[in-house]
Structure 1
Amino acid sequence: MSLLVRAAGLVKEFRRAKRVPGRMSVLRTFLSREYDVIRAVDDVSFDIHEGELVGYLGPNGAGKSTTIKMLTGILTPTEGTVDVAGNDPSRRRKANALNIGVVFGQRSQLWWDLPLRESFRAIRDLYGVPAAEGDKRQHELVELLDMQEFLDAPVRQLSLGQRMRGDLAAAMIYQPRLLFLDEPTVGLDVVAKHRIREFVAHANQARGTTVVLTTHDLEDVERLCRRIVLIDHGRVLYDGALSELMSRYAPYRDLVVTLASPHDVTVEGAEQVARDGPVVTLRFRSDQVKAPAIIAATTAAAEVVDLAVVEPRLEDVVSRIYTQRGLPA
């Protein structure tokens, strides 16, 4: 896979005027020209290759949005360099815009009072897509996102889920190489989330579109991403495979069994961590013993009515990382 994005030593600082107490605080602040410097992004580096689908994660204020704004050319780095498909985004914004699509969950690129169909045509013309080609792409996107029934409705009349589908189609109608998604499923119901995730997976797998996804809904990440970048206080905590993070930080699995009668269970290779009447939870390290062995030992030691192997949740793992402000050795 060829390199598409390179961020090297990115730093972004913002200056905020210091507040001087007193009745003349505004004038004195202006005259003194004293500022606090806030470092939102602090030496961030990563590469993204063609065809990747990367989750870029962090709590509020971690520096995610600031990083994305530098990658899209909205902000200029204080230090460091950005290269997106051979362009410096902040210096060659028009060239960069032709390579990227951007969807922000709380902001729309659609024309509020125009029918959705006309918004698509306007974006097609804006990016210089020939009419016949644009109409073909629009038809494909309408089919994929099931938008036919509201294609002629003004954008202001669309539900949040319908508008989000429209924004996704608008971002893809000129076939960008790189798609930035910021909270694409925020506020959506289960059905709408499923449709959005299916479309993103299709764009990545069938069309080869590279995707950078920022979200607080970690189910989006679990369903879509094989690689994640964790950021906190402007610094990268982890950059690698999702599976590796889970095996490194949460190498355990839980076997939840319902017994014929309430009692404790002792099984070699597992620890009983909870019991609620006849329901017992046994925890074991999946890197040391396999689930079938624990299941066999448990059914041999007790009369089991029902059982289930429960995987650790990414949400719990990420929460622990941010609480501890780092990764285990």
Structure 2
Amino acid sequence: MALIELDEVSRTFVIRTKAGRLRRERREVRAVDRLSFTVGAGECVGYIGPNGAGKSTTVKMLTGILVPSSGRLRVAGVDPARERSRLARRIGVVFGQRTTLWWDLPLRDSYELARRLYRIEPRRFAANLDRCVELLQLGELLDTPVRQLSLGQRMRGDLAAALLHDPEVLYLDEPTIGLDVVSKVRVREFLREVNAAGTTVLLTTHDLTDIEQLCGRVMVIDHGRVVYDGSLPGLHALGGSERTLVVDLVREGAPIEVTGARVVRVEGARQWLAFPAARSAAPIVAAVAERYPLVDLSVREPVIEDVIARMYQGAVIG
């Protein structure tokens, strides 16, 4: 069953720019251009693209914050713009760079206000809060004012607040932005649990590791249109995108030679090896570690803008 449906949805904005001392020019910008897709109940979909591609505009239309200029849009059978209050009780939203929590109140009080706002039955609220507190390890933070929380702690707090009313759909906009490695792992584990329990997730992010670990499907949007809809390995294969293994050797030496990767850069004892993004890094890492004396190594994921550029290049070449 399709829980999210967009049919030929467009959204334009009017921009006025100076064209002389007293005159201004009026220009229309199409942020979303005849966008059509569906998301089924229980899916976890990555919605990615470069800055300005139309991702945030889409999410704002799906939540009812913005009204489409044209086309048809439904979430759980509801028109978000016309029935925003009704829809609010069926969706959860987390924006990585903003918070829905009350800044000067303890986390516990923010949750109590959310209970009243969503009119959550007390027993259901208590059960949901206990579950979120346990999975997100928020127990020691409940009496801490939100302004005293670290970014990672606040993000976990926002995730709990978005799920207290059992939403059918969860929209996530950069949920791991700025988080340390430990916080990212904790957030991803929680989101896997939420999705496995049946919540539909639409995730916008610039971190391809989020997509790789959480999403079975990825949609790429560019200039307001979906240019790819499929698996992440399929996207990498289409554009021939590459991951990079950064290796710090004990001492400077000849370029590393291992099957499945090639050296693309050498600076003293540090070397960069490129390999296909759709391929596992494990055998390459194992081969390097076995044959060469190491200080450190790390894997760098492709940047989304580079993935899209390679995809276009591959399409042209093909």
TM-score over 0.5 for the pair: yes
1:322 and 2:309 correspond: yes
Hey, what's the Cα distance between the residues in 2 that align with 1:281 and 1:111?
45
- Letter of the aligned partner of 2:14 in structure 1? R
1:127 and 2:118 correspond: yes
Match of 1:167 in 2: 158
Hey, what's the Cα distance between the residues in 2 that align with 1:111 and 1:149?
18
Match of 2:238 in 1: 248
Match of 1:225 in 2: 215
1:115-154 per-position Cα deviation (integer Å, ceiling 9, x unaligned): 1111111111211111121011111110110011110111
Q: Is the 8 A contact 1:270 1:282 kept in 2?
A: no
Q: Is the 8 A contact 2:240 2:310 kept in 1?
A: no
Which SS does the other structure have where 1:7 is aligned?
Answer: strand
Q: Displacement, 1:18? A: 3.6
Q: Is the 8 A contact 1:246 1:314 kept in 2?
A: no
Which SS does the other structure have where 1:216 is aligned?
Answer: coil
Q: 1:190 to 1:274 in 2, by over 3 A?
A: closer
Greater Cα radius of gyration, structure 1 or 2: 1
Hey, what's the Cα distance between the residues in 2 that align with 1:130 and 1:265?
62
Per the normalisation by structure 2, the TM-score is: 0.82
Q: 1:125 to 1:270 in 2, by over 3 A?
A: closer
Q: Is the 8 A contact 1:246 1:317 kept in 2?
A: no
The one of 64, 85, 110 aligned to 1:73: 64
C-alpha RMSD of matched pairs (Å):
3.7
Q: Is the 8 A contact 1:250 1:317 kept in 2?
A: no
Match of 1:20 in 2: 19
Hey, what's the Cα distance between the residues in 1 that align with 2:58 and 2:12?
11
The one of 27, 32, 39 aligned to 1:36: 27
Match of 1:236 in 2: 226
1:210-233 per-position Cα deviation (integer Å, ceiling 9, x unaligned): 111111122111111121111111
The one of 291, 296, 318 aligned to 1:305: 291
Q: Is the 8 A contact 2:106 2:144 kept in 1?
A: yes
Hey, what's the Cα distance between the residues in 2 that align with 1:266 and 1:130?
62
Q: Displacement, 1:306? A: 6.2
Q: 1:318 to 1:125 in 2, by over 3 A?
A: same
Which SS does the other structure have where 1:126 is aligned?
Answer: helix
Q: Is the 8 A contact 2:43 2:201 kept in 1?
A: yes
Per the normalisation by structure 1, the TM-score is: 0.79
Q: Is the 8 A contact 2:94 2:158 kept in 1?
A: yes
Q: Displacement, 1:162? A: 1.0
Q: Is the 8 A contact 1:237 1:326 kept in 2?
A: no
1:209 and 2:199 correspond: yes
Q: Displacement, 1:172? A: 0.3
Hey, what's the Cα distance between the residues in 2 that align with 1:48 and 1:243?
19
Hey, what's the Cα distance between the residues in 2 that align with 1:190 and 1:266?
30
Which SS does the other structure have where 2:233 is aligned?
Answer: helix
- Letter of the aligned partner of 2:142 in structure 1? L
Q: Is the 8 A contact 1:82 1:88 kept in 2?
A: yes
Match of 1:178 in 2: 169
- Letter of the aligned partner of 1:232 in structure 2? D
Q: Displacement, 1:11? A: 0.9
Which SS does the other structure have where 1:111 is aligned?
Answer: coil
Q: Displacement, 1:73? A: 0.7
Q: Is the 8 A contact 2:208 2:304 kept in 1?
A: no
Hey, what's the Cα distance between the residues in 2 that align with 1:121 and 1:132?
13
Residue identity over aligned pairs, in percent, reads 49
Match of 1:301 in 2: none
Q: Is the 8 A contact 1:58 1:64 kept in 2?
A: yes
1:35-184 aligned within 5 A: 35-184=26-175
Q: Displacement, 1:234? A: 1.3
Stretches of structure 2 lacking an aligned partner (at least 5 in a row): none
Q: 1:19 to 1:137 in 2, by over 3 A?
A: same
Match of 1:3 in 2: 2
Q: Displacement, 1:209? A: 0.7
Hey, what's the Cα distance between the residues in 2 that align with 1:36 and 1:48?
33
Hey, what's the Cα distance between the residues in 2 that align with 1:271 and 1:42?
39
- Letter of the aligned partner of 2:306 in structure 1? S
Hey, what's the Cα distance between the residues in 2 that align with 1:119 and 1:271?
50
Q: Is the 8 A contact 2:206 2:303 kept in 1?
A: no
Q: 1:126 to 1:274 in 2, by over 3 A?
A: closer
Stretches of structure 1 lacking an aligned partner (at least 5 in a row): 299-303
Q: Is the 8 A contact 1:183 1:215 kept in 2?
A: yes
